[in-house]
Every structure is written in C-alpha cells, then in structure tokens.
Chains A and B, each alone.
Chain A
Amino acid sequence: MAAGFNWFLVLSSVFLCNLVKTLLPSISSFLSKIFQKDADQEMEMRTEIQNMKMELSTVSMMDEFARYARLERKINKMTDQLKTLVKSRTAQQAKIKWIVNIVFYILQAALMISLILKYYAEPVTVVPSKWIAPLERLVAFPSGIAGGVGITCWLVVCNKVVAIILHAVS
C-alpha cells in the first residue's frame, strides 16, 4: 500500500515546495514586522512631521519669520532622521527576505535530494512497459526498471503541472 503512494508523496512534496515559494514574500514581510523594533518610533515621527507641517502652514513667513524658519529647520531635521530610519528598515527587510529565500532554497534542495536518493533504484510507480514505448528507458531513469516511472521524470512532470496550476489559481 505504501509503495502505491510513492507517486503521491513526491507530488505532495513538489506541491508544498511550490506553494511555499509563492508565499515567500508574505513570509518575509511577516518576519520583518516581528523583528522590526522601530516601527512605533517611525510612526510617531511621521505624525510629528505632519503636525509641524500643519502648524507651518498657519504661520505667516512675513510676520513671524524667525518662528517660521525655526519650524522649517525642525521639519527638515526630523525628515532627515526619518529617512535614515526608513533606510535602515528597508535594509533590514531586504536582509530578512534574503535569509528567508536562502533557507527556503536550501530546504527545497535537501528535500529534492532526499527524494532522489530514496527513489533512486525504485520507481515511483510501474505501468506495463509497452504503454510508454519507445520512451520507457528515459521515463524509467534512474531506476532502470522496464515500465517504471523514475523519480527524475516524475519530479519534472509534477513541477511543471504544479507550476501551471498555481499560476492559473493566482
């Protein structure tokens, strides 16, 4: 019974890998929100800049030039600080995204290699060899069993089909 479901195991693994790949951007943004410490500070700075700009609009430059200039200098200083903060946040996000991608690809490679090693000599399923003539050798690679569907052929087929399905769904 377990041998009869090898093809389904490989298919599920491929489907899972492709699904996680499409969800990678969401995972990266979720993790960056968790690890982000300065989010509140950034929000406060934005609010303060907004308030100062509103106050600046009420102040007349001709009548209260000193106050106007002081306020403008404050706004500029805070805007520069906000820019630095946003820059560091963006860099952190990019770093997290890069790490998540690297981890995913390592896990995916490990999974694929383990599947190939497991089913190197054993086909995922067997059909009468005359059904898949004249490509039986190619399909059976690397198991070498006549009529068998090898792991490499099945992985390629599943990858393609899952990619088409996920593309159609998304």
Chain B
Amino acid sequence: MQAESSEGLLQRRAEIRRRKLLLNSEQRMKKIVGFSQNEADRPARVLEPRFHLDLECNEPWSSSCSSNRLSPLVSDPSESSGEEDVSGGVQQRLAGSPRRGLQKYVSRFDDAMKLRGQLSAEKTAQDGGGVELDSFCVFRLVCSVALAVFVRIFVCQYLSIFAPFLTLELGFMGLHKYFPKVEKKSQSTMLTAALLLSGIPAELISRSMDTYRKMSDVFSDLCVYFFSFITCHELLLLLSGSDMS
C-alpha cells in the first residue's frame, strides 16, 4: 500500500516536472540563445538573425509555417512604444556595427594572411619573363610573324598594316576555344594583396587580372608583328640594294 502511494507520488512529481518543462521550454531556449527576460519585455530591433523554436509546428519546413513564425526578437511596429525603446535599439545598432566592422576586418585579414602564405610558397617569377609559352601562345606568335611577312610582301601597298593585324586578333579570339586550356596560375602580388585588403572583391580582382593578361597578349602579338614587319622590310631593302649594286 505504502509502495503504491510512493509510486503514485513519484509519478505525480514527474508529471509536474514535465509540465513545468513544457511551459518553460521557450524561456529556456531564449536563455540559451542569449535572449534575456528583460529584453523580451521591450521590443528591440534585431541586428543578428536568431532562430525561434516552434514546438507546435510539426510539418517539416513549410513556407506557411515559416512565414507565420515571427522571431520574438523582431520588433513588431505595433508594439513599439516610447523613446526609451528607440534609444535602446539605437544603442544596440551602434554596438552591433563595430562588431560587424571588426568581423569584416578579421575576415579580410585572414584573406591577406592566406595570400601571404601563397606568396611565400610560390616560386618568384622570372624578371621580364612573365610570358608563358603554351601551345596557343606559340601559335599566336608564329601567326603574327607569318602575317607580317605576308603583309610586307603583298598587302602593305594597298592598306595599313594594322588592319590585317586586327583581323588576326579577331581570328585568335575565335580559335582560342579549339586549343587546350592551360590553367594559368593567378599571380599573387603585393598589388592583389593590397586590393584585397582595400575591400575590393576577389572576383573583380581576378576578372581585372584576366583582362589585363589578355591585353598583354595582344600587345605581345602587336610587338612581334611590327618587329617582324620592320625586319622583313629592312632585309628586303638590303637585298634589293645589294642586287642593284
């Protein structure tokens, strides 16, 4: 009899404890995520996203469920009142912005440190030897020389020498995809590190570097073309001069 009564007492106590847990679960969750009771009383403007555990929502993630949920921290305009609440929200905003700025700075610093590690690990590039001679590059140079000789012998009397060159460059743009693509290692320099630290996105930097590389290739082709043209011209003059003498 006594055992039965003690068992019943234990069960009752467990039941009370369970009810207490269910009732206080929300408050406990708020405590865990750092939302105190005092802040819940006054509606505050949220600076960081916080999640809200809805025990009653049994569906796996439905839009209706999520849309109906409101974070308890998000201020409801209808509830906001008083200047004290606004000043408190402003204070929180000011407190959040240096933290965000610091996080941004730290992330940029990490990028810069990684880049520094890359710089020290990479081999130093040869001075003035930045041209990587892959198959397409060799093809371009050979075509430039060949075109220069052809233009000097047959074409230059009729039009400017730069017109065929521009046509050649347009042809290269189309032929580029038929050549094996070589993964050009992006050159990490002090300039890219400085640009990263300035807050310029890495994608923009890489695109600019890519554009610069392409312009550099076109300039190399132009120099080779012009050099070949002038050399061919001078050799022809020399040969014609020796023939005449």
Docked-complex contact A160 and B223, CB < 8 angstroms: yes
**How many whole Å from A43's CB to the nearest CB in chain B?**
30
Q: Count of A residues near B, CB < 8 Å?
A: 27
Interface residues of A in 10-33 (CB under 8 A from B): 18, 21
Looking at chain A's contact residues, the main secondary structure is helix
Docked-complex contact B224 and A168, CB < 8 angstroms: no
* Chain B residues in 8 Å Cβ range of A134: 160, 162
- A28 CA to B92 CA in the complex, in Å? 64
Docked-complex contact A163 and B128, CB < 8 angstroms: yes
- A157 CA to B238 CA in the complex, in Å? 21
Interface residues of A in 116-169 (CB under 8 A from B): 125, 127-128, 130-135, 149, 154, 156-158, 160-161, 163-164, 166-168
**Does chain A have a CB within 8 A of B234?**
yes
**Does chain A have a CB within 8 A of B141?**
yes
**Does chain A have a CB within 8 A of B105?**
no
**Does chain B have a CB within 8 A of A68?**
no
**How many whole Å from B171's CB to the nearest CB in chain A?**
20
- A8 CA to B235 CA in the complex, in Å? 11
Indicate whether A168 sits within 8 Å of B133 (C-beta atoms), given known contacts A132-B161, A160-B220, A163-B128: yes
- A8 CA to B238 CA in the complex, in Å? 12
* A4, A21, A127, A130: the one within 8 Å of B238 (CB): A4
Docked-complex contact B227 and A161, CB < 8 angstroms: yes
Indicate whether A167 sits within 8 Å of B131 (C-beta atoms), given known contacts A158-B227, A161-B224: yes
For this complex, 7 residue pairs linking A to B, each with C-beta atoms less than 8 Å apart, are A132-B162, A133-B162, A156-B223, A157-B226, A160-B224, A161-B223, A164-B131
